[in-house]
Structure 1
């Protein structure tokens, strides 16, 4: 019953975001201490100007325009504005207002995968229809010069496209990347790499000889290489604000995209009334635009961790593919070779034995727990430099790198998951890690040799990644989420050369293609498949496409074209 009333109200909702900051006047201090709010109105005829007067009362030192931050006009009516807590409460008391709630900070939920899904290069395609599909991506922006977004061989932009290229200075769109907008900065250029990675996963071109320092070498491509891309920058760093997310939805829907991929979410689930992704996606669904969202990376916290709960959103979990990146550690006396450590190691140590040091024994002045974990203020740089550090948790990697370590050995908290880090690192099982500790403690001059990563086949794939968020959602327990799983572990895709592949700011490496894991990576896989299905069924509704994909269980692009009853 509650869900029905929500749908009825949202259908005629106007969205208002109230972001509190100061302007001159009696309530200046209150505004400085305020929060950001989102409010929804029952009637589309309600405007900012008709509602803000009774709220601000006689505070004449601030003009009405001083309150306005953002205006949403293209796909739904709404605005972002500055108010105090008291003014927000007053607005919430109006009968025309459905809800008022704080603005929130959303987080990013950071080649072979398409073959693994059965969508290889020889699969049946509808090339003409595919070139008419527009994939919208709400993320950190995009790197337009990447080969994955070249328009070589592309014809004119689809006639239905109503968007623009507003990427900022020195940013150029083309007939592949047909549109870009920046909602969190002056430029849509991707300075983090995340948005470039997700966009190329969904609809990037075929790029031969792509790899990460020789690892995962092959043809990098998206699910629909002939489709067009529109990028909406709604995040800066790893943070994405509610008001920018709503602005991205407002533009993407009006621009004429066919579907929207959203690889971001809250770390803690909230009610649908307070979720701008759910609100924006509802308006998209009304206009026939399918929205896909990453389920979240909080699976290790247990059940009720999924943050994408709206029934009109296709929520995507992360699963493995049939390849693993593994590494080897050979201990100095040849006593033990560990073959099942996980690593994306691009570094060569020239097959030399490197001295081992344990964080517990090279501490400056830390307690035992912090020393074992290699906290940044714990390591003695003189004792760590040019050595391999043993740290009980992966969080010690940056501290070891900053201390001058050549490598890191730790135990994994997440199984079957490799990381790109700024030095030669490997994660081991607790059993194997304890063996290394035993070797270190029983040897006068312990040493180890680190070998370069290699790819092996995972016969157990696909399995849901342990980090992938789980059902049920605490606010909508009757709807089981996520809806489907797709590859989200060790995914190679295009990357921004403005960012280091490890996201460590002092890492000097720059790459065109990077390996990343997360439900952020699985979401654009499903976006690519949804676009592929749409090329054969252009008139299917978002619900029909969603049903067709879910009918296949673990995502199967070819079967989704003709799934049976949807």
Structure 2
């Protein structure tokens, strides 16, 4: 390797299913540098998003464990990697991979591996998934793992196209190309439809392009399937009709942008009515997004159908338009037509939000190195900033406890701690027998109390979630224990975010602590009368006048 200087950032690299630990698709480089990348001045993607790049803990070290190829991720490799990471003595595990559905715990290698990590005092941070915005699309549902949704940042990429009549249309793209002030012809046809090889639909969305008609021209694509025949058609650029304006832009392999349906129709009308239609696609630019942070449309949503009492995701963090390091052996657009090589790339996924929280966890551990995984998780969740409502109105099922707040998390005031026996008892209450529990824990753990499915909701984590049947009156009791980690002698008062659809009571409402690490138990009671199908949201706030400890309350009313 030429022109390479070791900076002692990566202190370990193992591989399990290929003969190299090298990152061949860029995903690992992007996520690891987000979690623990050093300071890089004047970082950018071909001049876009230019500035100083750094993670929350730039002097942290990285141990990488490669368990995936372009074809997918191997379960045995994941389990081996967890075992090695635990044995290597890592402080935090960040895993930006997951299933496309909610797997049973005993069949999920991430569930098993992260359980063993928890036993070893290591918190696992996991991406929530990219199957949003459908309900119950979240794949990271384990109570002992910190599941992260993706939210927007206050920088947004836009792009513009200037038509031959000088009309300016604005869309979205991460387009680093410039046409240098020159307008190019717009192709009036992408190809001639052929019943055997080229359907009209595939031609319309640029899956089939005829170079004799489009080479050197701008093609118009009536939608995008994830593939365009740029290699075969050799167009100079593309303009795509955007059928889902909620999704963020992505890096384009050539001058390209998405236009709203209305603006695309204006463009199409101009093209059809002009003898020689031309346009210039400009290089992308950034603008400030005053609405950020809001949950990304692609970010997977709850509820958790395997364990409805466990709210998922747990937290939200930046996952849209994230600039970070990238492997130079693959094109930034992941398109064979794109021959560029770049040290940095801009990507949007929950894979990007996950390492943000992993980095924040590393920052947190510089203050509280010996705290348990559940204590760290509690501090991050209860200190999160409330978020604006999402488009699909599932509230905390979209963004969890809220948007992560690294500064406030360091001084949480109170924590909800969980111990190994609590997790074992929860599995027993879910109906797991000793054989299934052993598949997860690796030991012959036994249940310490009587098995009761209704007591799953009493797992001592900082949220309150429950399913209730519609048109049925209900009274639900949650038991929790809080530990004072703030001021030795302190007095807290409970307040409830009002929601007229339910009544919430906390007993006791004003716990007092005489010393650090003292524990106090309380009961939260939720009552409601014959509600129709809906999701009802509230929250509990403990405050001592200095620290605020907030927990979501979610009642999922179903048929």
1:137 paired residue number:
none
Secondary structure at 1:248 match in 2: helix
Whether contact under 8 Å (2:190, 2:219) holds in the other structure is no
2:62 paired residue number:
229
C-alpha change, 1:414 and 1:194, in structure 2 (3 Å) is farther
2:164 paired residue number:
332
1:50 paired residue number:
none
Q: Does 1:282 align with 2:131?
A: no
C-alpha change, 1:322 and 1:515, in structure 2 (3 Å) is same
1:9 paired residue number:
none
1:368 paired residue number:
200
Q: Does 1:452 align with 2:287?
A: no
Specify which of 275, 279, 293 is matched with residue 126 of structure 2: 293
CA distance in 2, matches of 1:292, 1:283: 14
CA distance in 2, matches of 1:562, 1:219: 28
Secondary structure at 1:325 match in 2: strand
Secondary structure at 1:394 match in 2: coil
Q: Does 1:554 align with 2:403?
A: yes
Whether contact under 8 Å (1:364, 1:379) holds in the other structure is no
CA distance in 2, matches of 1:373, 1:359: 11
CA distance in 2, matches of 1:360, 1:511: 31
Specify which of 238, 246, 260 is matched with residue 408 of structure 1: 238
CA distance in 2, matches of 1:407, 1:290: 46
CA RMSD of aligned residues (A): 1.9
CA distance in 2, matches of 1:214, 1:541: 42
Question: What is the CA-CA distance between 1:359 and the residue it aligns to?
Answer: 5.5
C-alpha change, 1:238 and 1:258, in structure 2 (3 Å) is farther
1:346 paired residue number:
176
**Residue segments in structure 2 that go unaligned for 5+ positions in a row:** 385-401, 416-559
Secondary structure at 2:413 match in 1: coil
Q: Which shows bigger deviation, 282-291 or 346-355? A: 346-355
Q: Does 1:254 align with 2:84?
A: no
Q: Does 1:382 align with 2:212?
A: yes
CA distance in 1, matches of 2:352, 2:86: 23
Specify which of 527, 547, 553 is matched with residue 358 of structure 2: 527
CA distance in 1, matches of 2:251, 2:274: 30
2:153 paired residue number:
321
CA distance in 2, matches of 1:556, 1:379: 48
Question: What is the CA-CA distance between 1:371 and the residue it aligns to?
Answer: 2.1
1:465 paired residue number:
296
Cα shift readout 1:376-408 (whole Å, capped 9, x = no counterpart): xx3211101111111122336531344101111
C-alpha change, 1:198 and 1:146, in structure 2 (3 Å) is farther
Whether contact under 8 Å (1:324, 1:416) holds in the other structure is no
Whether contact under 8 Å (1:373, 1:396) holds in the other structure is no
Whether contact under 8 Å (2:129, 2:138) holds in the other structure is yes
Give TM-score scaled by structure 2 length.
0.68
Whether contact under 8 Å (1:297, 1:468) holds in the other structure is yes
Whether contact under 8 Å (1:253, 1:284) holds in the other structure is yes
How do 1:90-169 and structure 2 match up within 5 A?
150-151=6-7
Secondary structure at 1:521 match in 2: helix
**Residue segments in structure 1 that go unaligned for 5+ positions in a row:** 1-142, 152-174
Question: What is the CA-CA distance between 1:449 and the residue it aligns to?
Answer: 1.1
Question: What is the CA-CA distance between 1:240 and the residue it aligns to?
Answer: 0.8
Secondary structure at 2:256 match in 1: strand
Specify which of 79, 103, 107 is matched with residue 270 of structure 1: 103
Cα shift readout 1:41-67 (whole Å, capped 9, x = no counterpart): xxxxxxxxxxxxxxxxxxxxxxxxxxx
Whether contact under 8 Å (2:160, 2:283) holds in the other structure is yes
Question: What is the CA-CA distance between 1:238 and the residue it aligns to?
Answer: 5.5
Whether contact under 8 Å (1:179, 1:231) holds in the other structure is yes
Question: What is the CA-CA distance between 1:550 and the residue it aligns to?
Answer: 0.9
Whether contact under 8 Å (2:190, 2:213) holds in the other structure is no
Cα shift readout 1:252-292 (whole Å, capped 9, x = no counterpart): 01110011000011112222221111111011001110001
Q: Which shows bigger deviation, 179-188 or 393-402? A: 393-402
1:517 paired residue number:
348
Question: What is the CA-CA distance between 1:474 and the residue it aligns to?
Answer: 2.6
Whether contact under 8 Å (1:408, 1:426) holds in the other structure is yes
CA distance in 1, matches of 2:276, 2:63: 57
Cα shift readout 1:44-102 (whole Å, capped 9, x = no counterpart): xxxxxxxxxxxxxxxxxxxxxxxxxxxxxxxxxxxxxxxxxxxxxxxxxxxxxxxxxxx
2:136 paired residue number:
304
How do 1:66-85 and structure 2 match up within 5 A?
none
Secondary structure at 1:475 match in 2: coil
Question: What is the CA-CA distance between 1:207 and the residue it aligns to?
Answer: 0.9
Paired residues in the alignment total 394
Give TM-score scaled by structure 1 length.
0.67
2:17 paired residue number:
184
